[in-house]
Each structure stands twice: as C-alpha cells, then as structure tokens.
Structure 1
C-alpha cells in the first residue's frame, strides 16, 4: 500500500467503528495512533522530496524561458542579416523549448495540486491524531479507575477476608469465656485486707447500728421508769 493510499484510508477511517469492533480498544487505539504517527512522518518526508522536485522543475522553467528569449533574439538578428533560413530555424527551436516549458509548467501545476491536497489530508490526519490521543488518555484513565474498582470489589467479596474476620470473632468469644471463668473464681471470695472503701462503708454501718441501739435503749429505759 502506497503512502498516499494509506493516508487516505486513515483520514477516511471512523475511529468509533474501529474501537467498536476491537477486542481491546485501548490496544487498538494505541496501534491506530502509531500508524497515524508513522504515516505523518512518511508523508512529510515525501512532501519534502516533492517540494524539492518542484523547485528543480521551476528552475528548469526559468532556464527555458531564458532560452526562449535567446532564440527569439537570435531570430531577430538573423533577419537583420538577411538570413531568413536561420531566423526560421531559431524560431522553430524557440517553439520547441516553449512546448517543453509548457509541459513542465503543467507538471508543476499537478504537483502543486497534489501538495495542496496532501496538506489538507495532513491537517485532517493531525486532527484525527489529536482526537485519538485524547481518547487514549480517557481510556487509560477509565481503565485505571476500573482496575482500582475491580481490586476493591475483589477484596470486598473475598471469602478469605470473611473467614479471617469470623476467626477473630471466635477468638474474641473464647477470650470472653476465659475472662468469665477467671472472674467466676473470685465470686464470693474475700482475700487479703479490706479496701479503703470497704473500711469506710463498715464504719458508716457501725455508726448507724450504734445510733439505733442507743435510741432503742433509751426507749426501753423510759418505759421502765414509767412503770
């Protein structure tokens, strides 16, 4: 496939259709971008060579125009010297150079038209390349986001995590039972010296009992005296 044929195919391609039929859109768009970039390099190189060729042809045209002027001058000189035969030969040579020049000018015009069309195609290709690169960035971002979500979901629904958490629950229940057994041994048992709070509570209780005892004793003594 020639450079210009491939360029036309890419310029006329529909990126949406390419991505819709691709198994791996991100990989496909990367390949499309690479193809576009390679094509641009080749087309620009070809354009440089074509422009150089056109400049050479333009120089030849200018040389031929100078030759035409020279043959015309020589024909006039021959007429002045009475050499009509040489004048006609000079004009015939001038006409031959003129025909060659006109053919070159037509070739230059065709080359210029081709370069104009090529320039238009390159502009379109550059626009598609910019669009493709923008889509590649968007796809890469979506791919990274999707991969992150997938990892999160995989961890969220990973049965190994649930099993581990269940084991934690079992360990906590076992520890609760052990702590309960340890505390049960202390129920109803008093060991060592009473605490400060226990001693103060006992003093308060003794004071209350003592007061009630004294009050009751006074009532009993008063009844005896009345009797």
Structure 2
C-alpha cells in the first residue's frame, strides 16, 4: 500500500503535516515524489486509453452515419419502385443505426468529461510534484549545510581538537625540559682563556656604547 491511493488524495495532502510527523522527512518526501510520479504515469496512461477509445467510437459513428445515408437511399429507391414494405424495412434499419450512433455519441461525451477531469488532475498533480521536488531540494540543502556546520564546529571546537591543543602544553613542557638539560650541562664548567677574553671585549664594546650615549645626552642638555 502506497502513501496515496488516488490522485486527489495527493493533491489534497498537506506536505507540511506529513513531514512534521515523519521520523525521516527526507525519506518521506522521496516516497511522496515516487508515489506522485507513479500516479502521474498511471493517469496519463488512462488518458491515453480514453483518447484511443474516443477515436475508435468516432470512427464507428462516422460509419453509422454513412449507414444511415445508405438506408435512406435504399428506402427512397424502394418507394420509387412502389415497394413500401421494403422502404419501411430500410427505415427501420436506418433508425437502428441512428440509435447506435446516438448512444456512441453520448459515450464520447462521457469520455470527453472524463478526459477534461484527467487533464485537470494531471495539471494539479504536476504542480504538487514540483512543490515536492522543491521541498526535497530545500531539505537536502539544509541537511548538507547542517552537516558542514557540524564538521566545521567539530574541527575547531570538538573534543579531538581540544585534545590536540591540550597536548601542545605537554610538548612545550618537554621543550623546556630539553632546553634545561642543555643549559644544565654548562653549569660549573670552567671558562677557557678565549672565552674570558671574548667576554672582556664584549664588555669594552658595551662600555664604549654607554659612554657615547652619555655624551650625546649631555650635549643635548647643554644645548
């Protein structure tokens, strides 16, 4: 059993209520679209059969009209030959053809009404199908957007990211310890002669820069 059993059920259905009640709206709307597409195919096939029936009936009506003309001519011929009995029999056959043509004409009219109703149903169903497809597209867009937002938020604020950043502290601590071990190796080591002379030279350069700075400041003050 499908979601809808007739075209008018689909046309009258409230999509919003169906989607609100559905556990999986995306799946529900796919089922609705599938049902409407199948119903549309069935309605069109029925309309095609109706059109074919009309064509066949109209051909029969045309033949019956020709038959009426033929029986009229035969009745006239019989009267011209003073055969009233044959003329009357011909008129009876003409009436049979007329009655059958009238009956077929009435049936064609019924099929015309049914075909117009089918055309209206098809138009309404196509409109609802477009509406359903639009809703499907909107829902799919919302789902993709929500999934993208979730992935982005998980990337910058998720537990895995938080755990990764927490490990940076551990790595920094390890770097501090490594640097400490390297510096500790230099503790208590006697400086070489070259190292001491290099320090004296560095001290002389610092003293010279300091004296030059004082002189500049003194000159600015006196000015």
With structure 1 as the length reference, what TM-score do the two structures score?
0.79
* Residue in 2 that maps onto 1:98: 98
> Greater shift after overlay, 122-131 or 9-18?
9-18
* Residue in 2 that maps onto 1:183: 183
- The separation in 1 between residues aligned to 2:206 and 2:14, in whole angstroms, is 98
Deviations 1:145-186 (A, max 9, x none): 112222333444543432332222022123213313433554
- 1:197–1:76 CA distance, 2 compared to 1 (3 A): farther
> Greater shift after overlay, 136-145 or 56-65?
136-145
The answer to whether the Cα contact below 8 Å between 2:11 and 2:125 also exists between their aligned partners in 1 is yes
- 1:99–1:202 CA distance, 2 compared to 1 (3 A): closer
- The separation in 1 between residues aligned to 2:111 and 2:188, in whole angstroms, is 112
Q: How does 1:28-107 map to 2 (within 5 A)?
A: 28-107=28-107
5+ residue gaps, structure 2? 209-223
Give the RMSD, CA atoms, in angstroms: 2.7
* Residue in 2 that maps onto 1:222: none
* Residue in 1 that maps onto 2:216: none
- 1:8–1:202 CA distance, 2 compared to 1 (3 A): closer
Per-residue deviation, 1:91: 1.1
Deviant stretches of 4+, over 6 Å = 204-207
Q: How does 1:4-15 map to 2 (within 5 A)?
A: 6-15=6-15
Is the radius of gyration larger for structure 1 or structure 2?
A: 1
* Residue in 1 that maps onto 2:139: 139
